[in-house]
Amino acid sequence: MKKITLIILLVIMLLVLTGCQTAREKETNKPVDTEATTVTELEEKNEVKNEPNYTEIKVSTPKDLLENIKPYTRFILTETMYNLSSIPSPITNEWVETDDWFIGNEYTIHDVDHIEIVAEKAPTTLVVSSGHVNVLNFKKCHDIKLSGLTLGHEVEKGTCFGGVLHLEDCQNITVDDCHLYGCGTYGIIANDTSHVTVTNSEIYDCTEGILELHSCNDFSFEDSSFHNNQEYSGFVLENCHRFTLKNCDVYENLCKEYTSLFSTYSCSDIILEHCTFKDNTYPAFGDKEAYTMTNCTVEDENFDEPVYYDVEPDFEGN
């Protein structure tokens, strides 16, 4: 009788131990409650991406725009015309430098990041009344976006010494649906700048060329047009790498004697893809060893002429 009782107790203990082990296994294998997962845990797993948190400001005057420049700000331009030369007094903002050229102030936005300047509705135009200054300047800035803007000089054509958009030591610049026009010398002038993306935009009526880049990398133009620019050069690239035109139209530009449509010096990875070149005038298209052309249409008179090798200019101004 004692043996039977002992056996029964052993069996009961065995069943209890087996039940506990099964319960622990079920708890261990229980599905993770994703809704209960903390934000910190998700961020550690890179499952949450924090987007920049912008302060949005609506501005109706050019002074309001420049006085409020600061990081992480989105400016909505509510008016159709902003003349930067009409600002009655110097800007006191630490992020904006004022240069007095005696014939008009030039304003440079500097050392700032995450700025967006966006038109509330088209057309919205930013101009200057002096041909000696650039229209819009950025220096040592990154993560800048311009959208829906028209930029140019409000002066007699042929009297400009300044460009339209000037970038100095900048990174991650986006230009979308913008129109850069002359008489600015060049639509874009950039130095030591990288990762610039231009889409759905145009450069036209500039009086010295289309753009001028020095020591710049990763410039991309897509679905954009370049037309009616003259008269000394087209695309001027010096020590530039990874420059791309894709789905772009280049037409009715004039490059005079001793220059090419693509004047390249110490450059690499210049890609022309799905572009149309039509009715441009130049001594030669450019150095064929400097660029790669894929699925492009060229209807320029001198395209089949022998390659013209540019004489490298003295960029020190001598």
CATH at 234: 2.160.20.10
Quick one: 17 and 121 in the same domain?
Answer: no
Residue 222 covered by a domain: yes
pLDDT interval class at 38 (50, 70, 90) = very low
The pLDDT score that the predictor gives to residue 101 is 65
Q: Is the pLDDT of residue 31 over 50?
A: no
Residue 294 covered by a domain: yes
Residue 268 covered by a domain: yes
C-alpha Rg value of the chain to the nearest Å: 30
Q: What is the pLDDT of residues 184-205, one digit of tens each?
A: 899 999 999 999 999 999 999 9
Residue 48 covered by a domain: no
Residue 45 covered by a domain: no
Residues 66-80 as b/e (b if ≥16 CB within 10 A, e otherwise) read bbebeeebbbbbebe
Q: Is the pLDDT of residue 47 over 70?
A: no
Quick one: 8 and 150 in the same domain?
Answer: no
**Mean pLDDT over each residue of the chain, to the nearest integer:** 84
The pLDDT score that the predictor gives to residue 13 is 60
Quick one: 23 and 87 in the same domain?
Answer: no
Number of domains in the chain: 2
The pLDDT score that the predictor gives to residue 28 is 46
Find out whether 186 and 162 touch, Cβ atoms under 8 Å: no
Which of 211, 243, 238 lies closest to 315, judged by CA?
238
Q: Is the pLDDT of residue 233 over 70?
A: yes
Q: What is the pLDDT of residues 125-153, one digit of tens each?
A: 999 998 889 999 999 999 999 999 999 99
What pTM did the predictor assign?
A: 0.80
Quick one: 117 and 250 in the same domain?
Answer: yes
Residue 284 covered by a domain: yes
User: Which element (helix H / strand E) includes 176?
Assistant: strand 171-176
Residue 306 covered by a domain: no
The pLDDT score that the predictor gives to residue 17 is 53
Distance CA 140, CA 163 (A): 18
User: Which element (helix H / strand E) includes 220?
Assistant: strand 217-222
Distance CA 298, CA 153 (A): 31
Residue 276 covered by a domain: yes
For a pLDDT cut of 90, what percent of the chain falls above it? 64
Quick one: 29 and 73 in the same domain?
Answer: no
The pLDDT score that the predictor gives to residue 90 is 79
Which residues, listed in sequence order, are joined to residue 298 by a DSSP beta bridge?
277
Domain that holds residue 29: 2-36
